[in-house]
Structure 1
Amino acid sequence: MPEVIFHIRWPDGVEEQYYSPSTIIRQHLIAGESYPLDEFVARARAGLIEASDRVALKYGFACSSAMDQLARIEATARRYHQDDAPVTCLSLQ
C-alpha cells in the first residue's frame, strides 16, 4: 500500500510529520489548507481510521501505526485550548 507522510503546523507554530499507511488521507486533508483545531483532529481521525481499515481489508489486521499517529495527534491537540485555533496541513508526500 502506498503510504503518505503529512506535515502539519500546530497553532503555536510547531511543525510535525505524521504517517498514514494509505493515500486515503488525501481525501481528508489538503496541502496548504488550514483547519480549526477540532476540525483538523476530526479529519485526521477519519482519515487514519479509514487508512487502518484499508490495511485490515488487505492484510487481515488493522494498522497499529495509524492508530499510534492518531493518538499522537489527539494528545498534541489537547495542549491547545481554542477549538478554532488553526492547524495547517503543509504537505502530503
Structure 2
Amino acid sequence: MPEVRFTIRWPDGAEESCYSPSTAIKHHLQAGETYPLDEFLDRARKGLQAASDRVEAKFGFACSSAMNQLARIETAAKSQPFDGQVTCLSFS
C-alpha cells in the first residue's frame, strides 16, 4: 500500500508535511486547491479515515499513524482563524 505525504499551507502561512498510509487521501484533497478551514478539516477526516480503513481491510487493524496525523491537523486548526483558507500544495 503506497504511503503518501501531502503538504498543506495553513491560513497563517505555515506549511506542514502530512502523512497518509494510502492514496485514499487523494480522493478528498487535490494539490493546488484551497479550502475553507472547516471544509478542509472535513475532507482530511474523511480522507485519513478512508486511508486507515484501507489498512484495516488489508492487515486487519486500523492505522494509528493516520489517526495521529488527523489529531495533529485538528490541534493545529484550533490556532487558525475559523474563516481561514487551507491550501493543499502537493503530494509526494
TM-score > 0.5, shorter chain as reference: yes
Q: Which residue of 2 aligns with 1:27?
A: 27
Give the TM-score of the pair, scaled to structure 1.
0.96
Q: Which residue of 2 aligns with 1:91?
A: 90
CA contact 2:28–2:44 (8 Å) conserved in 1 = yes
1:80 deviates by 1.7
SS in 1 for 2:68: helix
SS in 2 for 1:52: helix
Distance of 1:90 and 1:50 partners within structure 2: 21
SS in 1 for 2:13: coil
Aligned pairs for 1:1-93 within 5 A: 1-82=1-82, 84-93=83-92
Indicate the RMSD between aligned Cα atoms, in angstroms: 0.7
In structure 2, runs of 5+ residues without a counterpart are none
In structure 1, runs of 5+ residues without a counterpart are none
Segments of 4+ moved more than 4 angstroms: none
Q: Percent identity?
A: 67
1:81 deviates by 3.2
Counterpart code for 2:88: C
Distance of 1:36 and 1:81 partners within structure 2: 10
